[in-house]
Structure 1
């Protein structure tokens, strides 16, 4: 028993002796090393690996873009990982505090470390802080490890992580320097200058090395197992610098050293994407095909199959894709399969099949809004290439409604949809007005019969819409049933944040970006009532709901017939809308799309109408401008204008190219003459004023100031005669010749005063009042007045580029107009005068894109005042109104 007690006592003493961190004995090193290895390094790395594994398994990969080499959490995502990361840091920190040999109580005086696992704990703390995105603290840990353990292989590991930390901080020069140092060490090892150790150096080996040279520390050999990590780090460096060639080279090298099947699969997939972007379809297909040989996971393997199909091609691949369509587990991916088939069809120049497959892709994209947007964009591009701009706009508009702002081509799609929207509105308006005019010519019985057919067609379309919605809903439910159900905590939906978030995301996937408003399912749906059958309803992808103004079930033929332009006034209004719409469409084709042939087609449609209309003059002149003056088409239009509109300004210009300059000079002289006569009136020279007014009234019927002269004559007569009734014939002449003018309104006012006498509290004021009206917070347009030195197309391009950079979110519509023979750029529309004034201010102080246009006159104006301005051409008067009000 005494011997046993002695042995126990000696064992306790030995254990206490081994627990000391100041004694460098084999027993102490074994104890503290084992504790540091398992309690710290092993457990901490197990926590980090499990946390990163969970993060990556729950991370949704974006296969539309090149995959990141390493998936690292963002600032928001890493917050969910704080617990395991902080626990790992705490474990390693405690190990270093308790098991460093000698202890860390006086770090500055510490010269060496006898515990062979302490350096790994320092690196683990650095890696944990790296994942935590605390890069400064991570770098300090790696830097300390590299300096203090410079004679150990952990110095290379530390420098590699320093390079990664530099990259995340954007310090690419320092990262490149660290990578270069590691490459030199690897090259030295591969050339046989040193041997890679199989394990940790023991204390005795370290002591022997130290005894050989106490002043110099021996440089450790580069470890072979670090070659893969170094190659991945080089690839990450190239990835950050967007150097595709460097990334391919580094990943190819990493593939040689990769051991894990999952790593090989990911590298092959990324290489396939990089080669595909570089246009090397052969190598891309090779690497995509290699993905299937490794443990890639179903989704990556599925996407590799799709991309391999696109790059490899062939009927065998097509059959494989069609087989995948029949597999129920691919229900969620039908949209991607159809999209791939569509791209293969396009590569083979089979556009009809491509269009059908893209349409199916959009239809089956019940949850993947990115895929739906891509399908619509392809359909829009195909229609745009065929110059079918109406259908292209509808596809682009459908795309714009579903894609998020992160979509790669987001701004371009929004601009295309907005740019073509005016064209679609103009063409559909013209077609609608033309159709209802034709139906209005039918007999009443035929009109009712036609309306009945329209209602039947509308009901049939509504039934088809409901059927398509049912199919789409079934597809969505099928996808949801195949998704694994996860525990979500609280059973009550509105108390469950996770359930609400998932529901919101599902809503966005199915319905796209929607405003929080009533009837949201009908928002952004423009329905043009039409009495004509659609030209090709089978190609409609997005179904629109019927107008809510009248329920479809209660719609009657009589209600539709009532909308026809049956009276003379209604017919005239319909013709005006149609002619204006055709003219606007021609302008958009010519000025925005550079499609002169399509523009001429719209103008010739206007000329072909079987009724007289003033817009025909404008259409003929536009056709004349689309050709050289000596072309036969231009000669025909010139003759047409000279014969049918000989007194028009356009005829004058065709006879004399200086016509407008001379006219402007004449107008200036006429204006000066009127101002002179007005001054005479003010000085009391009434008789000369009446004589001059009589001359203008009788001999100058085209004088733009003729109505003003009649009013001036009446006012002079009133001054010269006690009996004011003498003025009445002159006032009646003014009202008859120029009704609905400011002068006629003034004449009515004077006549009322003469006949009825003065109102007791109404002072008489014969002064001119402004024809422009001010309304607060009214929507505004902006007018830019161009000089003769710049072409209107060039000017409009500059303004569009300026708007894209500084006012992209406003989606301003830019058109060219002519005001008093001066070209102007019209921008619409701003929500109020404050927004418009802000735009004008930015325009005046920004030279970028605008160049010398920055100095041109720019004003903003309300819609009503804009109409008045174009009707009266009184720019000077509006300038005074603008300066006073704004």
Structure 2
């Protein structure tokens, strides 16, 4: 009886437990189903808000803040250029924090995937867009920001998304769309944080467009929204730079003063002082105090650079160059200042001293060390093209003149001259070897890293600055030479170069290099080596009529190109005139004579000098394009409406004669009417018709010459491609005969 009762009790208790478990399971299931991410009920929304915030949003935000701190810590400011208002994005430099960016993207995406009803959805999308922006994934970043603006619920989040979209447009260079977004935001009621970010982003946009006055004004509107600190001090420094660029020194000085009032770091305060001095707004007596301050030991190069700028501004160019050389010598581990110092030296030699070979050398050095993304790189590269050509043409003139003088010597005198050149070269090599050995001995006897050794006496290979400079100078002079024996024999040295090369300055090593190994072989030459060198020099001298003709052609081209560089690139008509006159005196039958007459006329007019070049041009080359430029009809150089109608009638008459196969009469009429059609809209059409008629009447060779003249006289004609095709076709029969 008791056993039966006990069994029934156990059975009932077990059934009750199973029922309770079932009820609990049903309750949990119902509760979880009620917490759907699409539900709008309070309990599910609270659940997803909690999870979205603590399991995703806050983690993504913290990861992104880590990335921003890393970017701010590792970014290297270039104080030689206007600082960017917003730090430039470079995913390669953020590679060490790539894991943080990936985690930020992953966590921010979780909110969109699992917590659609959370109030942190828009904020998480904004974090996702910023993370994509830092990764330079601009397409996806735009899509995210546009989505928040379209589908987002909060107005502040929508505005923040549009500011992010504007920043993305700036990074891809789409300033037009960036300005469109800015114009829309300008009319919106932004909160303080968005107002601050809007002003900074728009100021950055105008800075990128080089609209510095607008950018500085926007920064002025931003400062009341900022707290004191290094970030604000940096923005004041940038505002001062931009006011300097738009020639508003008073506003610039006030911002430099504000830098010192906003708890700047040491570099910011130093450069605020330097920029104030550069503008001549504070006493340069501060230089001595700054040079004696031990905290400025790593910045002495910048101080001397600024002293050079002030001397150059006061037209004391030798003193400026002396300070700039000191700036280079004072450089320590940070070599970023060197290319800008070279650039200023090249600028003074180019614009003020007009020493173009020296300017070229400094520009070469600046370009070798200047970052290609620098704003000055393209300007320097363009100027260097003209300087390279200028130096090359000067070298050709010097070389060819020297070669022709050598060719006029009698054999005995020429042989002695070449022996002297070889001996001089050998002597220079011996002096360089002696200098290298002296420096090497000093380096062996004293520790090269000792601070009491003057920089100019340290062995060059122990000095990373000189090694960098030497490598750049070597590449500029010799090119990329492979590591091999007797590499110097690869050079193509002419006799004139060997005779005309000046000896290097005493106390300097070329290219920052030192001969290696046994150098005794360079101090003497065997008979076979001397003979080989002399034969190479003989081979370059124009001793035959054909070689002399080629030498004269190179000289003629060099004078012509040099004169045009003086006239157009360097704006020095006083130098262009004697260059062109030398060309005409030495080569009176030059093919470019009409153009040279015309350029001489323009150069003399520019200097307000009377000349007869216009009359010579009209008398000797009345049908040339240059004569037509001088004698164009009408006060403004164009035909009147009636003149155009008459020109059209003349062209039609000549063309009808050509169609009627009356080519001789047509050619005669075309040549007679060319001067009357000068300046008309169909001048080049008549000129082309004349070329075709010459081919039919006078034959192949006059036809080819007429094509050449058309290309020379009408370089901007829309008919030029057709004429060049005709020229190629005219050359084909000759090629087949060959």
Smaller-chain TM-score range?
A: 0.5 to 0.7
Would the alpha carbon gap of residues 224 and 448 (structure 1) be closer, same or farther in structure 2, given more than 3 Å must change?
A: closer
Aligned match of 1:356: 322
Query: Post-superposition shift, 1:261?
Result: 1.6
Indicate whether 1:590 and 2:556 are aligned.
no
Structure 2 gaps of 5+ residues are 1-23, 444-454, 605-615, 625-672, 676-701
**Distance between the aligned counterparts of 1:346 and 1:452, measured in 2?**
42
Q: Deviations over 1:842-871 (max 9, x none)?
A: x99xx985656656679999xxxxxxxxxx
Shift of 1:65: 3.8
Does the 8 Å CA contact 1:546/1:552 hold for their aligned counterparts? no
Contact 2:256–2:276, Cα closer than 8 Å, also in 1: yes
Query: C-alpha separation between the residues in 2 aligned to 1:571 and 1:511?
Result: 31
Give, in whole Å, the separation in 2 of the partners of 1:402 and 1:480.
11
Other-structure match for 1:258: 226
Q: Which residue of 2 aligns with 1:267?
A: 235
Describe the SS at the equivalent of 2:480: coil
Structure-2 residue corresponding to 1:121: 124
Q: State yes or no: 1:344 paired with 2:347.
A: no
Partner of 1:882: 735
Residues 578 and 506 of structure 1, relative CA distance in 2, 3 Å threshold: closer
> 1:68 aligned to 2:84?
yes
Q: Please show how residues 331-480 of structure 1 align to structure 2 within 5 Å.
A: 334=301, 336-360=302-326, 372-385=338-351, 386-398=353-365, 406=373, 407-409=377-379, 410-430=381-401, 456=427, 459-460=430-431, 463=434
3-state SS in 2 of match to 1:408? helix
Q: Is the 8 A contact 1:272 1:284 kept in 2?
A: yes
Q: Which residue pairs with 2:482 in the alignment?
A: 517
The 1:67–1:397 alpha-carbon spacing in structure 2 relative to 1, beyond 3 Å, is: closer
Q: Which residue of 2 aligns with 1:39?
A: 55
1:89 has 2:105 as partner:
yes
Aligned to 1:316: 285
| Equivalent residue, structure 2, for 1:164 | 167
Distance 1:284 1:145, change over 3 A: same
Residue number in structure 2 paired with 1:54: 70
CA distance in 1, matches of 2:307, 2:226: 34
Give distance in 1, aligned partners of 2:472 and 2:504. 28
Taking the TM superposition and a 5 Å limit, the aligned residue runs for 1:613-632 are none
**What whole-Å deviation, never above 9, does each CA across 1:338-380 have from its counterpart, x for those lacking one?**
4433322211101112233444556677988875554444444
1:93 Cα offset (Å): 3.7
Output the CA distance in 2 between the equivalents of 1:61 and 1:81: 20
**Candidates 238, 241, 244, aligned match of 1:276:** 244
How big is the shift at 1:280? 2.9
Change (3 A) 1:456 1:383: same
- Counterparts of 2:208 and 2:409 in 1: how far apart (Å)? 64
Partner of 2:635: none
Aligned length: 582
Q: Retained in 2: the 8 A contact 1:48–1:84?
A: yes
Tell which structure's C-alpha radius of gyration is larger.
1
**Aligned-partner Cα distance in 2 for 1:401–1:169:** 28
Equivalent-residue separation in structure 2 for 1:658 and 1:169 (angstroms) = 54
Could you say which residue in structure 1 is the equivalent of 2:194?
A: 226
Deviation of residue 565 (structure 1)? 13
> Post-superposition shift, 1:421?
0.8
String of CA shifts for 1:210-230, please: whole Å, max 9, x gaps: xxxxxxxxxxxx433333122
- What whole-Å deviation, never above 9, does each CA across 1:227-279 have from its counterpart, x for those lacking one? 31221132234345443332222222222212262321331232233223223
Q: 1:158 to 1:416 in 2, by over 3 A?
A: same
In 2, Cα distance between equivalents of 1:856 and 1:364: 60
Question: For the Cα contact (< 8 Å) 2:562–2:579, is it kept in 1?
Answer: no
Give the TM-score, by structure 1 length.
Answer: 0.50
The CA deviation string for residues 529-567 of structure 1, in whole angstroms up to 9 with x for no partner, is 555784994899965989999964115999599959999
Counterpart secondary structure, 2:201: helix
Structure 1 residues 63 and 511, CA gap change in structure 2 (3 angstroms): farther
Deviations 1:137-181 (A, max 9, x none): 445544555566545643433343344345556665665454445
- For 1:719, the equivalent position in structure 2 comes to none
CA-based RMSD: 6.3
Distance (whole Å) between structure 1 residues aligned to residue 408 and residue 257 of structure 2: 62
Contact 1:47 1:85 survives alignment (8 Å): yes
Contact 2:156 2:194 (C-alpha < 8 Å) held by counterparts: no
Q: Helix, strand or coil for the counterpart of 2:69?
A: helix
| 2:687 aligned residue | none
Equivalent residues in 2 for 1:208-223, closer than 5 Å: 222-223=190-191
Provide structure 1 residue ranges, at least 5 long, that are not aligned to the other structure: 1-11, 105-112, 187-221, 482-502, 608-613, 632-652, 662-787, 791-818, 827-842, 862-875
C-alpha deviation, 1:75, in angstroms:
5.4
Q: Contact 2:623–2:674 at 8 Å: present in 1 too?
A: no
Distance 1:127 1:184 in 2: 24
Q: 1:588 Cα shift?
A: 4.2
Structure 1 residue aligned with 2:524, among 549, 554, 563? 554
CA distance in 1, matches of 2:106, 2:563: 71
Aligned CA distance change for structure 1 residues 467 and 306 (closer, same or farther; 3 Å): farther
Distance in 2 (alpha carbons) for counterparts of 1:657 and 1:169: 57
1:866-877 paired onto structure 2 within 5 Å: none
